[in-house]
């Protein structure tokens, strides 16, 4: 199945500091592509994979499980650890939960986390109906493009398959139990107005992690996909400042430009 235009994975080979970026549920790397390119331009090695079942059609997501999504970012982290001295993990929405599980399970192999509107729970009465409803209703209206900035759009599905939503609920519960195992330096940026993930999810994450180096930043001008919204520049700047504080050598090697799909892995993007 062809990948949606703009949804391709991205990779850039830069210096000895690596960053893994994890996109959200029903979204694609497009939502994080400007962030990834910003990091690449500053000499960092960057990996932004496309999660299984995403970036094609919602029916493909319906036949995947949370283990598939997690396995992809776990593989990407291990790849970065082989080529980089230190690796940071950034995530948006469900990508934040993926990042937290990587931190809980990989310990010192993750140098720090930056999370934007991290998801922690499937909310509402409908969540409790998922075990049954998923067998009766294939999908519901999508959650993509919750963005305040006019003209900015997210590449994502217009439908949410309920089988996948059920998997997401299981995954969030698993990650919530593992949060006390997260000890790495952590930055959480969350929107005051978010129509997909409520601020309570960020509060829950902050209250349960064991990290002692924690920064909370409120985003007052953006909705859920803040990486494509009015606060994007602040997110990018804060993330680089965080890396420079934790791993000061990050700025010593400069990299040029990003990369497009289909190019070789030698300092370029992967298209598949």
Residues catalogued as catalytic: 93, 194, 224
Residue 48: which of 40, 36, 39, 56 has the closest Cα?
36
Helix H or strand E encompassing 17: strand 17-22
Return phi, psi of residue 92, to 5°.
Answer: -115, 130
Binding site for substrate: what residues are annotated? 25, 94
Helix H or strand E encompassing 35: helix 33-41
Return phi, psi of residue 194, to 5°.
Answer: -135, 120
Residue 119: which of 137, 101, 145, 139 has the closest Cα?
101
DSSP-assigned letters across all residues of 57-106: -HHHHTT--HHHHHHHHHHHHHHHHHH-SEEEEEEETHHHHHHHHHHHHH
Residue 39: which of 258, 259, 249 has the closest Cα?
258
DSSP-assigned letters across all residues of 162-217: HHHHHHHHHHHHHHHHHGGG--S-EEEEEESS-SSS-HHHHHHHHHH---SSEEEE
Burial class (CB in 10 A: 0-12, 13-18, 19+), 162: buried
């Amino acid at each position: 199945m062809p990948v949606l235009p703009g949804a391709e994975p991205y990779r850039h080979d830069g210096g000895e500091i690596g960053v893994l970026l994890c996109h959200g549920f029903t979204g694609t790397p497009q939502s994080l592509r400007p962030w990834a390119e910003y990091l690449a331009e500053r000499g960092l090695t960057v990996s932004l994979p496309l999660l299984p079942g995403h970036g094609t059609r919602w029916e493909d997501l319906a036949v995947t499980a949370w283990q598939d999504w997690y396995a992809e970012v776990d593989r990407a982290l291990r790849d970065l650890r082989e080529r980089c001295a230190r690796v940071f993990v950034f995530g948006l929405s469900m990508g934040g939960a993926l990042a937290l599980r990587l931190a809980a399970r990989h310990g010192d192999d993750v140098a720090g986390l930056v999370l934007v509107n991290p998801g922690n729970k499937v909310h509402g009465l409908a969540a409790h109906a998922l075990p049954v409803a998923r067998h009766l209703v294939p999908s519901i209206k999508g959650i993509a493009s919750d963005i305040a900035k006019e003209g900015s759009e997210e590449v994502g599905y217009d439908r949410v398959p309920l089988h996948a939503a059920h998997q997401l609920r299981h995954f969030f519960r698993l990650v919530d139990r593992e949060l006390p195992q997260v000890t790495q330096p952590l930055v959480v940026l969350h929107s005051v107005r978010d129509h997909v993930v409520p601020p309570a999810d960020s509060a829950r994450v902050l209250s349960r992690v064991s990290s002692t180096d924690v920064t909370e930043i409120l985003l007052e001008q953006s909705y859920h996909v803040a990486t494509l919204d009015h606060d994007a520049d602040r997110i990018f700047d804060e993330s680089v400042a965080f890396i420079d504080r934790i791993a000061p050598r990050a700025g010593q090697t400069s990299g040029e430009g990003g990369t497009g799909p289909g190019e070789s892995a030698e300092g370029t993007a992967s298209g598949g």
